[in-house]
């Protein structure tokens, strides 16, 4: 058992790719070693700006030997009557390079054959490693590879050295066009020269002395701890997004955190703009107070252990000042006119060629949001319809602002700031930011009633319009993010407990595209059908992500509820039903009932003639059905679907008795039709909640 060290040294690797490259390299080498049956105790990956490395400990020296059985001709053909080998046997033996006397007998189900047990000796690990590492490098997820100089070898960055060693000995090989060796390089500035690696186990410790923290995770933890310590000194919390943290970790070999400051006057600017520019452009960690308000500090990570850190701090303060001044300029420039005045330029900005301008979209959002607000009012919600219309008209105004022009991610956020500065009602101002929620899977939802109306109206308007012009998502292409929009609509209606019918919303959204000159939607009926089908298809994606089984979703979709909140309540009821001991039997019985009714050649009556119930089992089932109908009626009025299915579980035994003792397809047509009518009532009871026959229990 020994230790293998592999290191690929190169120019600075793309920081956003470093972590994925590290993980892919380790995964590929691990997979290849397992396929080659080379055992090892552990494999550790290293990744720093100028290197990718693997240290494999406790690795076996060679592949295990294995035996391989070669089968030749049948015994009858291999030996003659005197027991001498025939030409067939001798030819088989010669092909293996052995004497015929060394052949053995192999017994099989199809008879006995001659054969030979051959031992295949495993290859030495050192003979296989170069190809394993080269294959792993070739398979790394690199979008664009490059060549360096006259070399034909391609990689994401020019390669400068390659280390491949077993314990203290170099493994002679050529990888990426470079001869392997035992020399590495340290920090680009603090220790730029080549250094000999005495033993593969010394790698991490040696680099540590050369000012390189080779372990990505350790380097990241150092950054997190330093950032927290500097934030604590000013009683602040650092904003540390994981993506930014990964990128900064990939930019430095030897992280040293420093805290700098900026003029407090910049805090009058929306803090989202300041945070955006400091994170995206400068890779800084911003600081907030305990209430989340931005403080006039930032923390940055340097790759140099400076004798005069203040110079580096002053340099970063000097660099960030113009960035913040730009944001301040845009913010002040926008305030020279009220937010409403910005809507004028929306009248010439196109939302989509066939769907008109952004101003027209704002008008449609306002009308649809008012319609939704009226529905919410009917349900007892406190919401001002005039304010909802005002919010709709202002909803896209900030798209014409200088601030959003420079920082597109501030759309909605900028509108909220400007609305408050213009003394718009708070309900209107807050909704301008909330209209874009949720922005991604699992994101928070709008909180205010008007924000909910805008969020729904905006998404519905886009959905309807894009489907109307035949640009629905295809395959993986979804340029208007309609799938995300559809799930956003469903989530809002469900999680905000809004009993609103999708049919009404989609119809109203389609009407919004009509004016005195006609409608921008040519095929209203087709558009309605397609949008409804698309929204219903999103349930599966949404609920499977929550761990709901596909058959549960299909059971509810089979009855096509048009109210998302109602759909969700049915899903929860079917989930609870599936846990009952009677569920499996009832699901099978429902399948049987559905099949019997589907095969019926006559129209099945809705009512049962009690006088024709001759068998005790059918009388018992009818009595149970009548009892269940009475019990579930008030439950259905309250959407108590879970209790409905629990009540219907009592039909398990009567249904079993019915199928065991009653012939449905009686020769007597009246009896047969009456029994079909009874089963139709059973089926109807379950379909009040879902199609239980879809369950695979």
Over the stretch 232-248, which tens digit does the pLDDT of each residue have?
A: 999 999 999 999 999 99
Is residue 557 situated within a structural domain? no
Tokens of 144: 């664009």
Range 658-671 average pLDDT: 87
Q: Which helix (H) or strand (E) holds 259?
A: strand 256-261
The predicted pLDDT at position 518 comes to: 66
The predicted pLDDT at position 320 comes to: 95
Identify the domain boundary among 334, 361, 378: 334
The predicted pLDDT at position 435 comes to: 97
The predicted pLDDT at position 150 comes to: 65
The predicted pLDDT at position 188 comes to: 92
Taking only the tens place, the pLDDT of each residue in 520-544 is 777 888 999 999 999 999 999 999 9
The predicted pLDDT at position 20 comes to: 96
* Tokens 């990744």 -> residue: 47
Range 23-51 average pLDDT: 95
- Asked whether residue 598 carries a pLDDT value surpassing 90, the answer given is no
Range 475-491 average pLDDT: 91
Residue from 458, 394, 457, 403 nearest 427 by CA: 394
The predicted pLDDT at position 553 comes to: 95
Quickly state the pLDDT bin for 425 (edges 50, 70, 90).
very high
Taking only the tens place, the pLDDT of each residue in 71-127 is 888 888 888 878 888 888 888 888 888 887 878 888 888 888 888 888 777 888 899
Q: What is the pTM of this model?
A: 0.80
**Same structural domain for residues 603 and 689?**
yes
* Structural domain boundaries enclosing 324: 216-334
Tokens of 651: 């039909």
Residue from 540, 521, 386 nearest 453 by CA: 386
* Tokens 């049948």 -> residue: 74
Taking only the tens place, the pLDDT of each residue in 640-662 is 999 999 999 999 999 999 989 98
Integer Cα distance of 287 and 295 in angstroms: 6
Comparison of pLDDT for 396 and 476, the residue scoring more: 396
Range 333-353 average pLDDT: 93
**Same structural domain for residues 388 and 500?**
yes
**Same structural domain for residues 621 and 634?**
yes
Range 593-618 average pLDDT: 87
Range 217-245 average pLDDT: 97
The predicted pLDDT at position 516 comes to: 58
**Same structural domain for residues 354 and 456?**
yes
The predicted pLDDT at position 429 comes to: 97
Is residue 554 situated within a structural domain? no
CB atoms within 10 A of CB 337: 13
Is residue 316 situated within a structural domain? yes
Q: How many domains does the chain have?
A: 5
The predicted pLDDT at position 517 comes to: 66
Strand ranges, E, within 412-538: 514-515, 518-519
**Same structural domain for residues 102 and 232?**
no
Q: How far out from the chain centre does Cα 678 lie?
A: 47
Is residue 656 situated within a structural domain? yes
Is residue 34 situated within a structural domain? yes
Do 185 and 194 contact (CB within 8 A), yes or no? yes
**Same structural domain for residues 383 and 515?**
yes
Is residue 508 situated within a structural domain? yes
Residue from 326, 264, 269 nearest 295 by CA: 264
């Amino acid at each position: 058992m020994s230790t293998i060290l592999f290191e690929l040294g190169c120019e600075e690797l793309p920081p956003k790719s470093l972590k994925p490259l590290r993980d892919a390299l380790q995964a590929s080498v691990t997979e290849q070693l397992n396929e080659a049956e080379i055992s090892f105790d552990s494999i550790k990956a290293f990744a720093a700006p100028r290197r990718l490395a693997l240290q494999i400990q406790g690795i076996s020296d060679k592949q295990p030997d294995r035996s391989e059985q070669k089968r030749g001709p049948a015994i009858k053909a291999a030996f003659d009557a005197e027991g001498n080998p025939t030409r067939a046997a001798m030819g088989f033996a010669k092909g293996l390079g052995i004497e015929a006397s060394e052949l053995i007998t192999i017994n099989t189900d199809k008879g006995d054959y001659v054969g030979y047990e051959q031992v295949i000796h495993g290859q030495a690990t050192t003979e296989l490693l170069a190809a394993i590492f080269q294959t792993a490098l070739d398979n790394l997820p690199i979008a664009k590879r490059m060549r360096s100089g006259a070399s034909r070898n391609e990689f994401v960055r020019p390669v400068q050295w390659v280390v491949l060693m077993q314990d203290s000995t170099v493994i002679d090989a050529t990888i990426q066009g470079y001869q392997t060796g035992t020399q590495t390089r340290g920090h680009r500035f603090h220790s730029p020269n080549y250094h000999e690696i005495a033993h593969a186990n010394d790698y991490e410790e040696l680099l540590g002395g050369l000012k390189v923290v080779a372990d990505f995770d350790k380097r990241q933890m150092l950054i997190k701890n330093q950032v927290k310590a500097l934030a604590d000194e000013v009683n602040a919390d650092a904003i540390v997004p994981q993506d930014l943290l990964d990128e900064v970790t990939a930019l430095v070999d030897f992280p040293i955190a420093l805290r700098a400051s900026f003029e407090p006057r910049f805090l009058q600017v929306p803090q989202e703009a300041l945070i955006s520019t400091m994170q995206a452009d400068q890779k800084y960690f911003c600081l907030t107070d305990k209430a989340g308000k931005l403080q006039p500090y930032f923390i940055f990570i340097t790759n140099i252990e400076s004798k005069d850190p203040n110079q580096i701090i002053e340099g970063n303060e000097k660099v960030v000042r113009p960035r913040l001044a730009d944001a301040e300029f845009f913010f002040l420039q926008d305030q020279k006119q009220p937010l409403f005045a910005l809507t004028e330029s929306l009248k010439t900005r196109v939302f989509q060629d066939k769907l008109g301008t952004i101003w027209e979209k704002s008008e449609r959002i306002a009308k649809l949001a008012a319609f939704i607000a009226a529905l919410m009012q009917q349900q007892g919600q406190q919401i001002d319809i005039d304010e909802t219309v005002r919010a709709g008209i202002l909803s896209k105004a900030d798209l014409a602002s200088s601030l959003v022009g420079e920082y597109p991610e501030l759309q909605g956020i900028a509108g909220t700031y400007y609305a408050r500065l213009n003394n718009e009602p708070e309900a209107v101002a807050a909704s301008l930011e909330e209209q874009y929620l949720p922005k991604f899977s699992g994101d928070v939802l709008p909180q205010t009633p008007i924000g909910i109306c805008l969020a729904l109206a905006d998404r519905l308007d886009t959905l309807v319009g894009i489907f109307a012009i035949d640009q629905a998502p295809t395959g993986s292409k979804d340029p208007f993010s309609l799938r995300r929009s559809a799930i956003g609509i469903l989530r809002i209606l469900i999680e905000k407990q809004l009993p609103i019918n999708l049919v009404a919303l989609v119809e109203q959204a389609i009407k919004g595209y009509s004016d005195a000159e006609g409608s921008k939607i040519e095929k209203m009926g087709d558009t309605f059908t397609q949008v409804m089908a698309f929204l219903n298809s999103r349930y599966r994606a949404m609920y499977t992500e929550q761990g709901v089984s596909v058959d549960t979703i299909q059971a509810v979709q089979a009855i096509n509820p048009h109210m998302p909140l109602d759909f969700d309540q049915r899903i929860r009821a079917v989930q609870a039903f599936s846990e009952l001991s009677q569920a499996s039997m009832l699901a099978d019985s429902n399948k049987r009932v559905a099949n019997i009714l589907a095969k019926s050649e006559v129209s099945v009556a809705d009512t049962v003639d009690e006088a024709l119930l001759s068998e005790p089992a059918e009388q018992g089932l009818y009595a149970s059905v009548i009892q269940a109908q009475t019990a579930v009626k008030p439950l259905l009025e309250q959407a108590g679907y879970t209790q409905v299915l629990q009540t219907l579980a009592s039909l398990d035994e009567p249904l079993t008795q019915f199928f065991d003792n009653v012939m449905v397809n009686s020769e007597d047509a009246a009896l047969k039709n009456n029994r079909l009518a009874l089963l139709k009532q059973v089926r109807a009871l379950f379909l009040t909640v879902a199609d239980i026959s879809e369950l695979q229990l």
